[in-house]
Amino acid sequence: MNIAILSGKGGTGKTTVSTNLALALNFNYIDCDVEEPNGFLFLKPEIEKTERVMVEYPVIYDKECIACGECVKACQFNALAKVRDKIFLFEKLCHGCGACEIVCKYGAVTYDKREVGKIESGKVRDINCSRGILNIGEPMAVPVIKQLLKDLKGENNLIDCPPGTSCNVVNTLRYVNAAILVTEPSEFGLHDLKIAVGVVNMFDIPFGIIINKDDGKDNIIRQYSRKENIEIIGSIPYRRDIAQAYSKGEILYDNTKFKPIFEKLANRSKEVLKWN
Amino acid sequence: MKVGISTSGKNNDSLLDKRFGRCEYFQIHDTNTGEIKVLENEGKKASGGAGIAASNQLIDEKIDVIITGNLGPNAFELIEIEGIKAYKCEDIAVSKVLEKYNKGELQGITMSGPAHHGGSK
Amino acid sequence: MELVVLSGKGGTGKTTISTALSELARNVMRVDCDVEASNFYMYYKGRDLEKEDFYGGKIAILDKEKCIQCGKCEEVCRFDAINNFEIDSFACEGCGACTLVCNQGAIALEDEKVADTFITETDQGIIARAEMGIGSDASGLLISFLRKKAKQFNEDEKLTIIDGSPGIGCPVIASVTGSYAVLIVTEPTKSGLEDLKRVVTLCEHFEVFTMVCINKYDINKEVANEIEDFVNTSGLELVGKIPYDDMVMKSINELKPITFYKDSIAEKAIEHMWENIKKLI
Considering only CB atoms, C144 lies closest to which of B22, B113, B114, namely B22
List per-residue pLDDT tens for chain C, 281 residues long: 899 999 987 778 999 999 999 999 988 999 999 887 788 888 888 899 999 999 888 999 999 999 999 999 999 999 989 999 999 988 899 999 999 999 999 999 999 888 999 999 988 899 999 988 877 777 778 888 899 889 889 888 889 999 998 777 667 877 887 788 999 999 998 888 988 998 898 788 667 899 999 999 998 999 999 999 999 999 999 999 999 998 998 888 888 999 999 999 999 999 999 999 999 98
Domains and CATH numbers, chain C: 2-44+124-280 (3.40.50.300), 57-113 (3.30.70.20)
Cross-strand bridge partners of residue A203: none
Q: Does A211 touch chain B (CB under 8 A)?
A: no
> What DSSP line would sit under A182-216, residue for residue?
EE-SSHHHHHHHHHHHHHHHTTT--EEEEEEEE-S
- Specify the pairing of strand A86-89 against strand B118-119: antiparallel
For an interface test with C, give the residue of A16, A36, A167, A173 to mutate (most C CBs within 10 A): A36
Enumerate the residues of chain A whose CB falls inside 8 A of the CB of residue B78: 81, 83, 88
In whole angstroms, what is the distance from residue A164 CA to residue C34 CA? 10
Report the mean per-residue pLDDT for chain A. 91
Closest CA to B69 of A86, C151, C277: C151
pLDDT (0 to 100) of residue C175: 83
Task: Tell me whether residues B56 and A65 touch, CB distance under 8 A.
Answer: no
Q: Does C171 touch chain B (CB under 8 A)?
A: no
3-class DSSP assignment, residue B91: coil
How big is the CA angle at A127 (ends A125 and A130), to the nearest 5 degrees?
120
Is the pLDDT at B69 greater than 90? The verdict is no
Query: What b/e readout covers A172-181, taking b as 16+ CB neighbours within 10 angstroms?
Result: bbebbebbbb
> Which residues touch C122 (CB under 8 Å, ≥6 apart)?
C44, C45, C46
Domains and CATH numbers, chain A: 2-53+117-272 (3.40.50.300), 56-115 (3.30.70.20)
Radius of gyration of chain A (CA): 22
**pLDDT tens digits, B79-114:** 999 999 999 998 899 999 999 999 999 999 876 444
Q: How far apart are the first and last CA of chain A?
A: 9
Radius of gyration of chain C (CA): 22
In whole angstroms, what is the distance from residue A258 CA to residue A255 CA? 5
**pLDDT tens digits, A119-161:** 999 999 989 999 999 987 787 888 999 999 987 877 899 999 9
Please tell me which chains touch C, using 3 or more CB pairs under 8 Å as the contact test: A, B
Task: Tell me whether residues C56 and B46 touch, CB distance under 8 A.
Answer: no
3-class DSSP assignment, residue C238: strand
Task: Tell me whether residues C97 and A102 touch, CB distance under 8 A.
Answer: yes
Considering only CB atoms, B48 lies closest to which of A77, A80, A91, namely A77
Amino acid at C131: E
* H or E element at residue A20: helix A14-25
In whole angstroms, what is the distance from residue C277 CA to residue C238 CA? 10
Residue C26: which region, alpha, beta or left (left: phi > 0; alpha: psi -120 to 50)? Answer: left
Query: What b/e readout covers C19-50, taking b as 16+ CB neighbours within 10 angstroms?
Result: bbbbbbbeebbbbbbbbbbbbbbbbbebeeee
In whole angstroms, what is the distance from residue A82 CA to residue A77 CA? 14
3-class DSSP assignment, residue C217: helix
**Interface B:C, Cβ pairs < 8 A:** 21
Report the mean per-residue pLDDT for chain B. 88
In whole angstroms, what is the distance from residue C107 CA to residue C82 CA? 11
Do the Cβ atoms of C170 and C142 come closer than 8 Å?
A: no
pLDDT (0 to 100) of residue B22: 80
Question: What are the residue boundaries of the structural domains of chain B, listed by start?
Answer: 2-108
Task: Tell me whether residues B49 and A89 touch, CB distance under 8 A.
Answer: no
Task: Tell me whether residues B22 and C205 touch, CB distance under 8 A.
Answer: no
> Which residues touch B65 (CB under 8 Å, ≥6 apart)?
B1, B2, B3, B4, B84, B85, B86, B87, B101
Is the pLDDT at A42 greater than 70? The verdict is yes
* H or E element at residue C47: strand C46-62
Considering only CB atoms, B49 lies closest to which of A59, A84, A93, namely A93
pLDDT (0 to 100) of residue C44: 87
pLDDT (0 to 100) of residue B116: 44
> Which residues touch A195 (CB under 8 Å, ≥6 apart)?
A8, A165, C36, C37, C134
**pLDDT tens digits, A53-78:** 999 999 999 999 999 999 999 999 99
In whole angstroms, what is the distance from residue A45 CA to residue A47 CA? 6
In whole angstroms, what is the distance from residue B23 CA to residue B8 CA? 6
Three-state SS string over C130-196 comes to: EEECCCCCCCHHHHHHHHHHHHHCCCCCCEEEEECCCCCCHHHHHHHCCCCEEEEEECCCHHHHHHH
Is the pLDDT at A38 greater than 90? The verdict is no
Task: Give chain A's count of helices (H) and strands (E).
Answer: 10, 11
The domain made up of B2-108 has a fold known as Nucleotidyltransferase; domain 5 (3.30.420)
Please state the rounded mean pLDDT for residues A206-211.
96
Distances (CA, A) of C248 to A16, A184, B17, B119, C66: 21, 14, 41, 52, 59
Cross-strand bridge partners of residue A214: A237
pLDDT (0 to 100) of residue C73: 95
Task: Tell me whether residues C96 and A76 touch, CB distance under 8 A.
Answer: yes
Task: Tell me whether residues C148 and B46 touch, CB distance under 8 A.
Answer: no
The percent of residues above 70 in pLDDT, for chain B, comes to 91
As a residue count, chain B comes to 121
> Which residues touch B110 (CB under 8 Å, ≥6 apart)?
none
For an interface test with C, give the residue of A97, A145, A146, A215 to mutate (most C CBs within 10 A): A97
Task: Tell me whether residues B49 and A65 touch, CB distance under 8 A.
Answer: no
Q: How far apart are the first and last CA of chain C?
A: 9
Is the pLDDT at A198 greater than 80? The verdict is yes
